[in-house]
Amino acid sequence: MQPILATNTETEESVQLLIENDHLIVTESLTLTAQSSTVETKEKVNLEFIYGIDYTQNLLSVHFIEKQTAVSVSDTGNKTLTNIRPQDIQWHLRTLRYTLNDTSFVTQLQYLALPHLNELPNTKIVVVLNPTSGLQLAETYWQTIVQPMLVTAGFNESNISKFMTEGEGKTRALAESVGQRILSTEEQGPKPIIISIGGDGTLHEVVNGLKDLGRGDFRLGVIPAGSGNAFALGLNIENVQQATLKIIKARKEEPFYLMDVQFGHSNTKENWQQQIEYDQLKKPVRLLVIMSWGFHAQIVSKSRYLRYFMGNKRFSLVAMFLLKFLHQYEGELVLKKSKKYNPELEQFVENENDVVLDGRQPNEGFTYFIVSKQHSLEKGFNIAPFASPLTDDVDVVILRGVDADALTKASIEAFQGGIHVKSDKVEYYKTTDLLLRVKQKADVCLDGEIHSLPANGVLHLRTVGSSTPESSFTVFV
């Protein structure tokens, strides 16, 4: 495509606009009055980052998200749990404006950058927003980033509805009600989009509430605004702007997998996994992110009341305290149809039989135990580096009988690209079905919420797809 001439409305200088190699290239010659010379500048805008294109009365406005230049920070020396976290990379919204008289260029730009542009005005959006999530910035994100981006992209403001969560335990019922409302008013046209603005806890309630309906097809957009945004990180979404862009672009939607959890107990010594009395639950428990027991569950339990003051830094503070009084947790684990990671081969190797780990023996107690569907539980913390919400298995990361130094080392290495899985202290599995029995009464973490298991209590976890013949879920990736 040949470059076309336009005028920069800010500098009033002539520019050349060219679409090449998935970029909008802007070449401008600026006159330097003092030196009586001209300087040519060239700016490239990745079409992937463009979220809106307006063209009215020969005025072209190109709206895109832009990554702020990172500020280099000198190495602080020894890495600890308090200084290992990566810096946040800031993104902001930016607009370029030009006058030109070439509708064919604008049409081509819109086609390449926003392929679903014609569908947006007729697509309904339902937002479930948790105003108390994380640092309580969800409403600010909505007003200053998410809503402006959606409207600028072409969504009709009258087709956007917003519901605020009202407190603990009510979000699931709200999501079910929202889903029922969508199904009762379903019309011809693009499928509605449900956007969850909050953390993993909010998303957990939204998905469970919609699943409780047992029917319907839902498209899910995830805006990370909590202290824990592991599900978004599992989709490689790190910020609000990027998350909103994925919804606007709608380039790819995928079904995802959940963890179905049942509770019970077994008091028998032998073959206990064959003799479990299961509890009757009022509603199914479906997890999107994590089940943990032991050290990690205690971190979550004891840091809950610090989240509004410290954000994710609270986890390191509580972890350092718990390391001073490190405890080994007694229990038994059965992994069915599992694979174990082999660091030398750098791949998972299938186990022919069920794996049974007995943590009741001396020096075999479970120090650290997590089952995750996401590779990172917070930004940079690659605790299960090969996990994905889009696969039908879960990743199990275990340390048994280790001391505080070994656990600290593994935690730091998780922040260093997940290299802890190469350690002989770390046991790393993939499975679709597991049973855990605890010896003493214990806390387990279920997507950030603490649940108590009695002595000889059993937790049975299996992976299930988000979609069934009656209902389907897809998430923007």
Task: Work out the end-to-end distance of the chain between its first and last CA atoms, rounded to an integer number of angstroms.
Answer: 30
What integer pLDDT is reported at residue 112 of this predicted model? 97
Q: Residue 74 pLDDT more than 60?
A: no
The 10s digit of each residue's pLDDT in 367-387 is 999 999 999 998 999 999 999
- In terms of domains, do 282 and 431 share one? yes
Cα separation values, 61 from 7, 11, 95, Å: 12, 15, 7
Q: What DSSP character marks residue 107? A: H
- In terms of domains, do 139 and 53 share one? no
Q: Please, which pLDDT band fits residue 34 given cuts at 50, 70 and 90?
A: low
- In terms of domains, do 150 and 105 share one? no
- In terms of domains, do 58 and 162 share one? no
167 Rama sector, left if φ>0, alpha if ψ -120 to 50, beta otherwise: left
- Domain extent, residue 325, equals 258-464
Of 459, 436, 428, nearest in space to 356 by CA: 436
129, 164 contact by CB (below 8 A) = yes
Say what the pTM is: 0.91
Query: In the listed set 92, 114, 136, which residue is the last one of a domain according to the structure?
Result: 114
CATH of the domain at 7: 2.30.29
How far from chain centre, in Å, is Cα 266? 35
Of 247, 260, 419, nearest in space to 341 by CA: 419
Percent pLDDT > 90 in the chain is 77
Element (H, E) at 169: none
Q: Residue 361 pLDDT more than 90?
A: no
Q: What DSSP character marks residue 288? A: S
Residues with Cβ within 8 Å of residue 349, at least 6 apart in sequence = 339, 340, 341, 342
- In terms of domains, do 165 and 215 share one? yes
Element (H, E) at 333: strand 331-336
Query: In the listed set 81, 114, 147, which residue is the last one of a domain according to the structure?
Result: 114
**Residue of 71 and 392 predicted with greater confidence:** 392
Q: Please, which pLDDT band fits residue 470 given cuts at 50, 70 and 90?
A: confident
Copy the structure tokens of residue 241. Answer: 């702007």
**How would you classify the pairing of strands 457-465 and 193-198?**
unpaired
Q: What is the pLDDT averaged over residues 13-39?
A: 85
What integer pLDDT is reported at residue 304 of this predicted model? 67
Element (H, E) at 403: none
Q: What DSSP character marks residue 209? A: H
d(CA 475, CA 477): 6
Q: Residue 78 pLDDT more than 70?
A: yes
d(CA 5, CA 24): 13
Of 219, 221, 244, 66, nearest in space to 152 by CA: 244
CATH of the domain at 432: 2.60.200.40
Which 3 state secondary structure label does DSSP give 449? Answer: strand
- In terms of domains, do 169 and 263 share one? no
Q: Residue 402 pLDDT more than 70?
A: yes
In a domain, 129, yes or no: yes
229, 199 contact by CB (below 8 A) = yes
CATH of the domain at 142: 3.40.50.10330
Q: Please, which pLDDT band fits residue 388 given cuts at 50, 70 and 90?
A: very high
Q: What is the pLDDT averaged over residues 414-442?
A: 97
Copy the structure tokens of residue 228. Answer: 């824990």
